[in-house]
Chains A and B, each alone.
Chain A
Amino acid sequence: MGKELLRVEGLTTHFYTEEGVVKALDGVTFSIEEGEIMGLVGETGCGKSVTATSIMRLIPSPPGRIVSGRILFEGKNLLELSESEMRGVRGKEIAMIFQDPMSSLNPVLRVGFQVLEAIMTHSRVTFQEGMRRVKEIFGRVNIPDVDESVNKYPHQFSGGMRQRVMIAMALSMQPKLLIADEPTTALDVSIQAQILSLIKRLQREFSTSVLLISHDLGVIATMAQKVGVMYAGSIIEYGSVEEIFNNPLHPYTKGLLNAIPRLDSDREWLEVIPGSVPNLIYPPSGCRFHPRCPLAREECVQEKPSLVEVERGHMVACHEYNRG
């Protein structure tokens, strides 16, 4: 058990749109320890990315606003920092890689210069010293022909290479926490594996903590030590990878794991969870999963279950497990 690095408590983020208030996050709670990879899974629109952007305080505002909660990073609440203090955290303490490497690099700047810009934002270094560090980190993320590559523009790189540049940029300041928001979703399967093993290797070398967001359970299983399962804006189950995959408790998690097609089964049809993701302007009352839940009862409609520890380190938010 390491030291706790990040603790998110009751994070609630709303988007005020013309159609109504989208209650995107509803009391998200989890924590990450030093040197740990925590996975966040859930289907599209369940609030994984909103969680990440809320931690970075990059929610576009208006329309978005963090309504309540605390984000404790090394004990200090990020939500209480001024914008300029927060700028000192972004990139230096917490870095982020995005889903689509094709669009997350500035097309008019050379990649080396972009990484240099990230370094120079946070530390006073000379151009030569900065460039030396850029080349070193390019080498560490396995970008070939470093001396040439730093002078290239993003469009001269493939998606996988661009994601390496993004990783280089994110790690250039040796942040304590790396948020990877679906870092491989936009890449080819073969490249995905390379990027994931690169993240894992660098995470060990730099002893960085990682918040890995993905909708791919396989990715989470190979990468993470701890998993949070999100549904409609809340974490509904949370625990070690072994626990979640071997002993899922929440009906939603069970459904998700059931939906993975298996080579050794002779089922003709894929298992699905009936229904679809709820509209978050008018979320279901009580437990947001109750309309799709096979175990739904009266109290599920009435009251939102809170996360309770069922076994050591394994928490679940479900009334089924919530009786004393």
Chain B
Amino acid sequence: MSERKRTHLRIIWLRLKRNKIAVVGFFIVLLYVVVAAFAPYIAPYDPYKQDLSKSFAPMSWEHPLGCDEFGRDLLSRIIYGARVSITIQIGSIVIALLIGVFLGAVGGYYGGRLDEVIMRLMDILLAFPGMLLALAIISMLGPSLRNLIIAIGIYSIPQFARITRGAVIAVKENEYIKAARAIGEKDSSIIMLYVLPNALSPIIVQTTLRMATVLLTAAGLGFLGLGVQPPTPEWGAMLSNARMYLRVAPGVAFFPGFAIMLVVLGFNLFGDGLQDALNPRLKE
């Protein structure tokens, strides 16, 4: 695109680069995305192929992370698991972004009673402790990948609504919003062209940080058996199954758990770094 856009991105990248921890986060996230995208080419085996003769096979050159109780290659299952989690993350974040940003923008822009109603609704959603809301939605809809995405999506709406509302309220005080009204712009164009583009950076940061929470929630629900159902390789469910064999084959539980930790850590580090890079004034 334009020169300015490139230079702007470069400035953000340069700021990010100075923060070594954020760079680590960025590469973890990058690795995760690449692994998920190219899973069939990277994974050495079919993640569903059982071979009972190899059940709980230890780590070896043939099976770098060993095998699970059905003799499935653990590395391949973790690699394919990245695909499942990234699907859940993207799906639910898209739902939460669309609805949350819309509600937050409308509430923040118009203010008054409409804002009050929207934000109290968000407060109701937020009142449910952590995962409980997602859990309740899942138990209503029944466990499946699609329902899991919907549940986590709904559960993430209030965060986006609040972040967007705050940013919109700050942006709307700018004189260019008044100037836009003075040339006769409609409210919808003002929100789309003038308000939201200027309110973007906190939303981007929130999206990154939320990726971590979503993954953790998905894994938690998977662990409870309410997420993606076996035999689909999902890290939370894998961890849950491996629990029973913890004494026999601790690796089968350790590696999926490690994968969850690593990716969550990656998103958090990257998100924090992004926050500083996009909003350098906040740091001081």
Contacts and interface: CB of A to CB of B under 8 A. Distances in A.
A121 B185 contact: yes
B181 interface: yes
B184 A104 contact: no
Q: Please classify how large the interface on chain A is, using the bins under 10, 10 to 19, 20 to 34, 35 or more.
A: 20 to 34
Contacts of A105: 176, 179
Contacts, number: 73
Contacts of A109: 193-194, 197
A58 B184 contact: no
Given A89-B184, A95-B183, A58 B175 contact: no
Given A56-B182, A106-B198, A117 B176 contact: no
A92 interface: yes
Q: Please classify how large the interface on chain B is, using the bins under 10, 10 to 19, 20 to 34, 35 or more.
A: 20 to 34
A146 interface: no
Contacts of B2: 110, 151
Nearest to B197: A108
Nearest to B196: A108
A117 B178 contact: no
Interface in A186-238: none
A152 B197 CA distance: 17
B149 to A, nearest CB: 31
A173 B184 CA distance: 11
B184 A106 contact: no
B193 A103 contact: no
Contact of A121 (B4, B176, B184, B194): B184
Candidate in B112, B175, B183, B198 with the most chain A CB atoms within 10 angstroms: B183
A117 B179 CA distance: 12
A228 B2 CA distance: 47
Interface of A is mostly: loop
A107 interface: yes
A98 B178 contact: yes
Contact of B175 (A87, A103, A151): A103
B268 to A, nearest CB: 28
Nearest to A87: B184
Contact of A58 (B181, B186, B189, B197): B181
A106 B198 CA distance: 8
A117 B184 contact: no
A88 interface: yes
A106 B180 contact: yes
Candidate in A107, A108, A109, A173 with the most chain B CB atoms within 10 angstroms: A108
Contacts of B174: 103
A32 interface: no
Contacts of B175: 98-100, 103-104
Interface of B is mostly: helix
Contact of B4 (A98, A122, A153, A166): A153
Interface string B154-186: 000000000000000000001110111111111
Interface string B185-210: 11001000110011000000000000
Given A104-B176, A151-B2, A118 B183 contact: yes
Interface in A167-181: 169-170, 173
A209 to B, nearest CB: 16
Contacts of A98: 175, 178-179, 182
Interface in A75-110: 87-92, 95-96, 98-100, 103-110
Candidate in B112, B178, B189, B198 with the most chain A CB atoms within 10 angstroms: B178
Given A103-B174, A104-B175, A95 B182 contact: yes
A301 B172 CA distance: 42
B192 to A, nearest CB: 11
28 contacts: A58-B181, A58-B182, A62-B112, A87-B185, A87-B186, A88-B184, A90-B184, A92-B184, A95-B182, A96-B179, A96-B182, A98-B182, A104-B176, A106-B176, A106-B193, A106-B194, A107-B198, A109-B193, A109-B197, A110-B2, A117-B183, A117-B185, A121-B183, A121-B186, A152-B4, A153-B4, A156-B4, A173-B183
Interface of A: 56, 58, 62, 87-92, 95-96, 98-100, 103-110, 117-118, 121-122, 151-153, 156, 166, 169-170, 173
Interface of B: 2, 4, 112, 174-176, 178-186, 189, 193-194, 197-198
Given A90-B182, A152-B4, A170-B183, 12 more contacts: A90-B184, A91-B182, A95-B182, A98-B179, A103-B175, A104-B179, A105-B176, A106-B193, A109-B197, A121-B183, A156-B4, A173-B183
